[in-house]
Amino acid sequence: MPLDPVHVGRRFASGPPYEVGREKIREFADAIGDPHAAYREPEAARVLGYPDVIAPHTFPIVVTYAANLPLLAEFGVGPRHLVHGSQRFEYTRPVLAGDRLCCPVTITNIRMIDGADFLTTRADVCTADGEPVVTAWCALVIRGHG
C-alpha cells in the first residue's frame, strides 16, 4: 500500500538524547577512511577552535537514521524495503564529542514513482538544551512494503 501524502508535515518527536563519544567519532572516521586529526585528538580540534574532537560531516547520519526508524515502523516499512536515495546536511556548527543530540523528524515529501514510494524527511538535530547543530534532509526509496 502506498504511503499517503496526507502525512506530509507530520512531525515525530525525538527519542532520548544520543550521547556523542570520542570513540564513536573515531570509529566513524575510521569507517569512512578519513584520517583527519581533529576527529581523534582533542588538541588538534582545539587548534581549530573547538573544545573537543569534532565529528566528520556525515556523522549525523548515525542519529538521523535512528530517528527515522520509528516513523518508518509506523508505516510498516522495515530496513529491507529501503534504498537510501540522497542525504544533505546544513550545519549551524560541528558535532562535538560530549554533545547530547536530539533529533525530531518531519516528513517533508511523499510521492510515488514507478511503483515505489519516495519519502523525504527533515531532521532538526539539536543539543538536549535546544541549541541547533545541523539540519539533515534524507530521501528514501521504499519498495515492496505493505
Which residues pair with residue 101 across a beta bridge?
Answer: 18, 127
Rounded to an integer, the average pLDDT of 110-131 is: 95
> pTM of the entire structure?
0.90
Distance CA 110, CA 140 (A): 10
Residue 87 lies in a domain: yes
What percent of the chain shows pLDDT beyond 90?
A: 86
Q: Which of 66, 68, 71, 61 is nearest to 3 (CA)?
A: 71
**CATH number, residue 117:** 3.10.129.10
Which residues pair with residue 113 across a beta bridge?
Answer: 116
Residue 123 lies in a domain: yes
Q: Mind listing the pLDDT tens digit for each residue in 58-93? A: 999 999 999 999 999 998 898 888 999 999 999 999
Distance CA 11, CA 126 (A): 15
Domains in the chain: how many in total? 1
Residue 99 lies in a domain: yes
Domain that holds residue 126: 5-20+58-142
Residue 43 lies in a domain: no
